[in-house]
Amino acid sequence: MKTVVSGIRPTGKLHLGNYFGAVLSFLEMQENYQSYFFIADIHSLTTHPTPENLHGNVKQVLAEYLAMGLDPDKCTLFVQSDVPQISELYTYMNMNAYLGELERSASFKDKVKNQRNNVNAGLLTYPVLMAVDILIHKADFVPVGKDQEQHLEMTRTYAKRFNNMYGSECFPLPDAYSQTGKLVKVPGLTNQGKMSKSGGEGDAIFFDDEDNLTHKKIMRAVTDSGPEKPNQEKPEAIQNLFDIMKLVSDDSTVKHFDDLYNACEIRYGDFKKQLSADVLKFVTPIRERIREIKSDDKYLASVAHTGAEKARESAEKTLKEVREIIGFRRFY
């Protein structure tokens, strides 16, 4: 069976965009691949979180991914820092990563521009750690977004460089996992492109929010004075609400409001009430499950422990081979 590896940023609460843009593909992968999903807590140190925030966010995403259907019996779900082999391989791989290529990485250049007061070495070697996350499990595939294609290319470069340097075939060169058509870009409620945590107050629909907050956000979403001509094209703000509705409502409901819009008879208040009811129908059971899981420390501990053991076993196997290849051969 082919192996796939993917990281999860410990950013805390997940929203509808994360679900339809990432979690769904994880659910598909765990059925068809040997899948390693890790919470990238070492990566997140580049932004200097407080210990409480770091731990709280790791716990939150762990509980959320489980609540959304990641199954520890089908995949290996682990916390990156639970696998010390990753840090060890990172040390070795750093010796074969060159300053010039690291400085040319688009994400590094972006960070230099946008967080001038915290350009740390971890940011510079971020692509090396990312490569290690993938190579340590000898992944065949990695799901990558458009902004991460360069990182996958760097991973392939490091794998090739290592293999050539030592005349070995230690690392397979991973390919991009082609996402199925199911993945969509979810628009935000405040009409600023895609739904995002940083999209401002009211933009994102979080699974772990209370029902009345979600309802309020939807009812406050900006609309206009209504269509003026039959069958006119919808302005972005309206189209966005329809796009969200398509994800959570029945086809007949979407058609009902689409027909009303096209006949210039839509009442946005009713439309948003229906959208809110359907969003909550989708989100509420998952939120209840998130809270159940979050309060079950024993379950979380057992998931993290099992995941760590499985990930360490796979990582140690690769690392043993790497140590031997490099020439770290024990005298005892």
- Measure Cα distances from 256 to 245, 251, 261, 271, 314 in Å: 11, 9, 9, 10, 52
Q: Residue 147 in contact with residue 174, Cβ under 8 Å?
A: no
Counted residue by residue, the chain has a size of 332
Q: Which of 147, 246, 188, 216 is nearest to 16 (CA)?
A: 188
Whichever of 93 and 144 has its CB closer to ligand AMP, that residue is: 144
How near is the Cβ of 76 to ligand AMP at its closest, in Å? 19
Whichever of 172 and 202 has its CB closer to ligand AMP, that residue is: 202
- Give the span between the Cα atoms of 220 and 237, in whole angstroms: 12
How near is the Cβ of 7 to ligand AMP at its closest, in Å? 9
How near is the Cβ of 142 to ligand AMP at its closest, in Å? 12
How near is the Cβ of 185 to ligand AMP at its closest, in Å? 4
- Give the span between the Cα atoms of 228 and 300, in whole angstroms: 54
Whichever of 22 and 134 has its CB closer to ligand AMP, that residue is: 22
What is the biggest distance separating any 2 CA atoms in the chain, rounded to whole angstroms? Answer: 83
How near is the Cβ of 242 to ligand AMP at its closest, in Å? 15
* 51-72 per-residue burial string, b: 16 or more CB within 10 A, e: under 16: eeebeebbbbbbbbbbbbebeb
Whichever of 185 and 220 has its CB closer to ligand AMP, that residue is: 185
How near is the Cβ of 247 to ligand AMP at its closest, in Å? 10
Q: Which residue has the tokens 């990485």?
A: 105
Whichever of 79 and 322 has its CB closer to ligand AMP, that residue is: 79
Q: Nearest residue by C-beta to ligand AMP?
A: 21
Residues that bind ligand AMP (CB under 6 A): 9, 11, 17-18, 20-22, 145, 185-186, 194-196
Whichever of 39 and 97 has its CB closer to ligand AMP, that residue is: 39
Whichever of 152 and 195 has its CB closer to ligand AMP, that residue is: 195
How near is the Cβ of 183 to ligand AMP at its closest, in Å? 7
Q: Which residue has the tokens 């208040």?
A: 269
